[in-house]
Amino acid sequence: MPSRSPIASTPRLMRRPQRRSRVGVSGSSGEDGGTAPFWQERVEGAGCLRAQPSSATGTASKPRRPYRLTITTTIDMVGCMNGATKTPNTSDLTLIRGLLVAIPVLVLALRIVPKLIDRIQGNPLTWSQPGDGPAADVATRGGATVSWSEELWQIPDPSVGQVLGSLIPDLALLAVSVAVAVLTWRLIGAVTRSDAFEGRPSRSLRIMALVLAVYAGAQPMLVLIASLIVLAPVQDGFSIEFLLDPLQWWALLAAAVVAALAEVYRQGERLRQDSEGLV
């Protein structure tokens, strides 16, 4: 009769007794790259292998380095710039825009309308230009002399061409003031949005600086053309002298300031484009 296996005849599963053994080995701790002795505990019955540092058995080991935690913070530069920009209230914007509208109106009212009213009333056309004349008949003392620094012309019956020619410098000033007012209006609308660098405000500033610089350079030529139109029909031996108008210096100074501001905004727009992909 064949013998039956004890495991097959036993209704319960039987486990072999587990036997533990410790074996000393050397390995890397994984933190500082050094090696330290380890002991391994092998449980033969379960087939499990556990590793513990040798400090648990009293063996001296190399001190561990503290963990270093690196935190990377991404700063939204556009949001910071937007938050630093304080939006003016409605009353401030209304005041600024009212001044922008008033500048062209003042140029029109003070430089152009009076000349048109004089023509309607039949008054002579008045035109002045720089010029040197003979000494004036004025009593002086101490060797002082007096000379004319300006020629004042009065034309009793001017033609339509002479009237329009006399308005050339004033019309140019009106056009520049309107252009500056419109560009400034657009700039205010751009900087009061949630993003101060949206809508390319530097473009408006560059155009404004160009308009002011062109006007400062062209203003003497405009005066020369107007003088030719007004005085050529009534003057023999026409001559003219160029003198720098203070308005030219102010226009050049304003053009330089606006150009510098345009460069600042251009750098801000460039920073905004570079920081869009960082968030």
| Domain coordinates in residue numbering, the chain | 87-131+150-278
Segment holding 51, helix H or strand E: strand 48-53
Please state the separation of Cα 111 from the chain's center in Å. Answer: 35
Contact 40, 27 (CB under 8 A): no
Q: Give the closest residue to 206 by CA, choosing from 261, 157, 166, 126.
A: 261
- What are the b/e assignments for 97-127, b being 16+ CB within 10 Å? eeebeeebeebbeeeeeebeeeeeeeeebeb
Q: In this predicted structure, what is the pLDDT of residue 145?
A: 72
- pTM of the complete model: 0.60
Output DSSP code: residue 36: E
Tens of pLDDT along the chain (279 residues) come to 555 544 444 444 455 554 554 444 444 444 444 444 444 444 444 444 444 444 444 455 555 665 555 554 444 444 444 444 455 566 677 788 888 889 899 989 998 999 999 989 989 999 887 766 665 567 778 878 777 777 888 999 899 999 999 999 999 999 999 999 999 888 887 777 656 666 677 888 899 999 999 999 998 899 889 988 998 888 877 666 666 677 788 899 999 999 998 888 888 878 877 777 665
Q: In this predicted structure, what is the pLDDT of residue 195?
A: 62
Distance CA 51, CA 82 (A): 56
Report strand pairing: 48-53 vs 125-130.
Answer: unpaired
